[in-house]
Structure 1
Amino acid sequence: MDIENVSIDEITQNIQTQTSVSSESLLGTDRQNDLDKGWHDTDRKAIHEDYWGNVVYREAKARLDEGELSFDELWEHLNIHEFLEGSAAGRKAQAKSAMRGLFTNTASENTAASGAALHRNCIKFMHKGHVGDISPFSMCSLKRDRMLTLLSRFVKPGDAIVDLGSGWGRYSTLFAHRMRDVSIYAGEISEAGRATTKLISDHYSLGIGSFAFNYYEWNGLLSVLKECKRDRVVLFSNFSIEQATYINLDLYRDVLALGKQIQFVHIEPVGWQTLPSQDALRFSTPPARRLGPGQGYNKNLLVVVKKLADTDAIKDVNVEPNYIAFGNIRNSGTLLTFRSN
């Protein structure tokens, strides 16, 4: 998508034809989504406290308490465990394989051992519109390799990476382990997610700076950026902006006003916002209208990016739908990259 040749009206009209929206929120002018029955940050925090605490932190601590693992061994283990136990696509793959006797009764037992199950092609994978079947083990390798290759295009020695909505530290720990000459910060809404990141960072001496962050209250992010001694910063997100039904324009304006060189790298399921072709719609699904204007995954990221581009606040905008998906290929990540002007 060439965002320079599409008007803001075309983008907003396209979104409005596909899902239920609040016109004011769509334009990124609400600091807090307080629509009736909205999906608030307190709700998201509670969900993620339970998810990261019960699915990942407990597993990470148990594995580290059992004995010494290399970082790569633990990282692969947690990715497979999270996929099988925490995602609908993982549970579906597990159920199919269980019928063939490849998986045991619980995901914890599955990921504790290597075997035929972890190498069986039972997961859908999509990259740049090409679809295939991969194994849980291959999924780990692809997540690691694709993300490191992507970030290598934008990160230079001496830079800082800020992982927004970092979850348990899936990518912030990976970047810290592989990019030792780069400062890594992980911003996460849940205490359980931050605790998991700290557990891994402390165990492997990764030096990750963890801070409380959510997309409706970004003062913590601004403080981290002000205190960061690095001049160049990569702001990274992977399926986390999706959690904010409407992203606020002022978040970006406030970050850009700091005067640092900022490179934004977002992988978010917003392909349906991009005036999509029928091919793009195969891999991106808008929030259902029945959810109402205040609920559902993000509905306005492309609007905010377009407004920033139109005011020359950012440059070098690239939007690549159908970039990547693991498991649920109908909810694929669109790659959006741009930088401060």
Structure 2
Amino acid sequence: MSLCAECFNNGDHTGHDFNMFRSQAGGACDCGDGNVMRASGFCSRHRLKTGENVPSVPRDLLLMSEMVLPRFIITIIQYLRDGYTEPESAADRDLQKVLQQLEPHISFLEELTKMGGAMRTVLTKILTNQQTFKELSMGQEENVYAKRNYEKYLSALKSSGLVSVEEKGAGAGATDTPAGEDQEGLQGVGQRKRVKLSSSTKDPSIMDTLKHKCFLEELLFWTIKYEFPQKMVTFLLNMLPDQDYKITFTKTFVQHYAFIMKTLMKSHESDTMSNRIVHISVQLFSNEELARHVTEECQLLDIMVTVLLYMMETCLIKSELQGNKTDYTMLHRLQSYWIAGYKMS
């Protein structure tokens, strides 16, 4: 549970244990959320806040935002697509240079989140609107740039060991299964079949297929590809007070969980990246009802266990304690997979 300074100072914390710190990565205040804390712990402002006494924002004030922001957001996504290239070596990778030109745009989105619930509601509707995303993301037939830009997005999926829904349906990116191997309940990570899960797994392709149907989902994809830039993380977290956004973003985060861990393992800034992943996770899963919901609907535990086993498998080294050449022992790279274990505890 997290509280902003204003809500903390206006609440009664007699007999409470608490730890006070200033978050550098943004976040959402949980005060007023009955799914996270008891109503008796709300600050004086949230205790008085009801649906009847909150004035509604005139519709006309929001029309311009609803018209302009979708094109503003697709501009950011198109720049992220154009700017990303897979480096041939670690020395070639300088993601900060690519992000510098986008900093004013992301800062503008961050400022919008501070304008109150009405603006966050507008942003949520835009970020989760599938039809608008489809129209603007792929572009019209005559828009050559949009088509070429979308192809770069598909290329980024492939270079990440992932395939799009369209390619999955066409059979692209499929891997051969060795003869005699039981395919029932197999769960893939990237292009590799690794872990046998229960036959009740609802979506066996969830680990190697990303289903980007709205701006929010692709924004998170690029946030991961660019290794969680601070301003993007702050924007995504500052939107959490909107409950519709929080539910959608949590599901999107779970959907990308395997991809997040694969990116973390390759990162040369794993400490910084893991701290930001944990910060997001704490914000999302402090809501018990929401955590239970994504566990049941999005196969959260299956995904977490599969990813953890995948990461541990990549750390296997030959054992010097056994004479058998086939024996292996585990190299404990805690900085890579401790996050998954942390959230399971």
Q: Same fold (TM over 0.5)?
A: no
TM-score by length of 1: 0.26
Larger radius of gyration: 2
Structure with the bigger RCO (C-alpha within 8 Å, sep 6+) is 1
Higher strand share: 1
TM-score by length of 2: 0.26
